[in-house]
A = this chain, B = another copy of it.
Amino acid sequence: MPATVPDPPAGGYHDNADEFRRRGHELVDWVADYLARVEDLPVRPAVAPGWVRAQLPTSAPQAPEPWEAIVADLDRVVVPATTHWQSPRFFGYFPANSSPPSVLADLVSSGLGVQGMLWSTGPACTELETHVCDWLVELLDLPARFRSDGAGGGVIQDSASSATLTAIVAAREAATGGDPTVLARLRAYTSDQAHSSVEKGIRVAGLTAGQLRLVDTDADHAMRPDALAAAVAADVAAGALPFLVVATVGTTSSMAVDPVAAVAGVLDDVDLGDGRRPWLHVDAAMAGSAAVVPELRPLVNDGLARADSWCFDPHKWLFTNFDCDVLYVADRAALIGALSVLPEYLRDEASESGAVIDYRDWHVPLGRRFRSLKLWFVLRRYGAVGLAHHVREHVRLAEGLAARVVAHPALELAVPRSLNLVCLAHVDGDAATQRCIDAVNASGAFVTHTRLAGRLVLRVCIGQTRTVARHVDALWEALAAGAGRG
């Protein structure tokens, strides 16, 4: 150590309990103040690439820095370069919504610092996760086969991308029985509107993008069961092995909902041997939370009883901060069989007894945070009634916006409004639509684009926790001004 370094403090360099308390209160207040003013900040920061790094020293400090300097940099460097996902004016992608009970439960999770790879390394972490997953089966009226008291169960993953990869690997192993010579014959199917994570998962799992068939969609951008049937039949005729269909409940571009029951029906005619059908995974990352509203269930839960796995993102629309996806499987043995590796140093009595769940075998990572705490806090603090109220409100606001679009002479819906997503375009074409996008984003709100049938589309996704009517009104004003001919 260089001679200039002072002797360590008597207790070492750790902050003591009083300091933790003081700085904790300070940062809770900082977050509260941030959330109170975030609405007034433009959602997109005005920084160029490299700005953040230019504000920072090129090396980590040798000596400890005072708390004041660190906290001050949140306002000096972080906030000016942050895209404000917690702004009620965030209408892009799907908002990553959040809530006080979720953020504070996450604080408790960080503080407990539990690593719940095994039941024994965190009994509360494990059992609370199983419990809230079972609660959600009832709350969302999901199939009972996803409950942990049968052959299935739920598990929290970081993201729908990871959940989809997990489902792909389980389906792959179920189809090949571990025989690698079968790999090249496998074919998977999803719609041409499915999320990019399906192709990514297929590739990570050792298949090629060419082994994933992108099935045609109908006028509403939902998978066509007849096109699926034709693709499957052609592959079977060519000697290939259809092993997986990923249906989407709420596509990213337009919130289209694939007809899951009809898709499952197509699979009834496919036999992998021993009477096994291809695996049906349903990606409800975007729309799954809508099932908390009873009247929306017929739309989003249709056919789920036939699904082998299903995932949704509480970090999108259930007021639970990122990261929190929930994956359900009907047959947990298939999942565990695909992912379990048991070295000596992870063996223990509880696991060997078979009486417990060890979630390490339910996903790629070994270690895991205590993520169920935030779902537990949210489900209890809002109650079923509170969650349904806010999801319903988002849908109502989207209905209102869609009506305004329909009534506007220069704007039109690119597809019918679906749940909380309004997709619109300018009648004069892409350049005019781009001007609308630019006008909204210049106002400080934030929308993103997609293309539907080759046409540029402005997406308005109304799902941020604090978004209420006045935010949509302000969005509309900017949009209408950008559209002209109001």
Contacts and interface: CB of A to CB of B under 8 A. Distances in A.
Given A161-B364, A169-B204, A113 B131 contact: no
Contacts of A181: 184
Given A100-B15, A114-B82, A388-B1, A107 B28 contact: yes
A61 B345 contact: no
Interface in A67-90: 67, 69-70, 74, 77-83, 85-86
A21 interface: yes
A101 interface: yes
A235 interface: no
Interface string A163-183: 001000100100000101101
A456 to B, nearest CB: 9
Contact of A350 (B49, B345, B466): B49
Interface stretch (A205-213, A301-309, A475-483): A205-213
Given A124-B82, A345-B448, A104 B23 contact: yes
Interface in A1-58: 1, 5, 8, 12-15, 17, 19-21, 23-25, 27-32, 34-36, 44-45, 47, 49-53, 56
Interface in A463-477: 465-466, 468
A305 B161 CA distance: 33
Nearest to A97: B113
A80 to B, nearest CB: 8
A365 interface: yes
B207 A205 contact: no
A63 B385 contact: yes
Number of copies: 2
A321 interface: yes
Contacts of A338: 203
A435 interface: no
Interface in A182-233: 183-184, 195-197, 199-201, 203-208, 211
A119 B47 CA distance: 11
A344 B450 CA distance: 6
A49 B355 contact: yes
Contact of A380 (B60, B96, B124, B339): B60
Contacts of A65: 380-381, 383
Interface stretch (A134-142, A257-265, A409-417, A424-432): A134-142
15 contacts: A1-B294, A13-B382, A31-B107, A49-B119, A49-B127, A53-B130, A53-B131, A65-B380, A85-B115, A103-B110, A165-B364, A180-B206, A200-B364, A252-B343, A252-B345
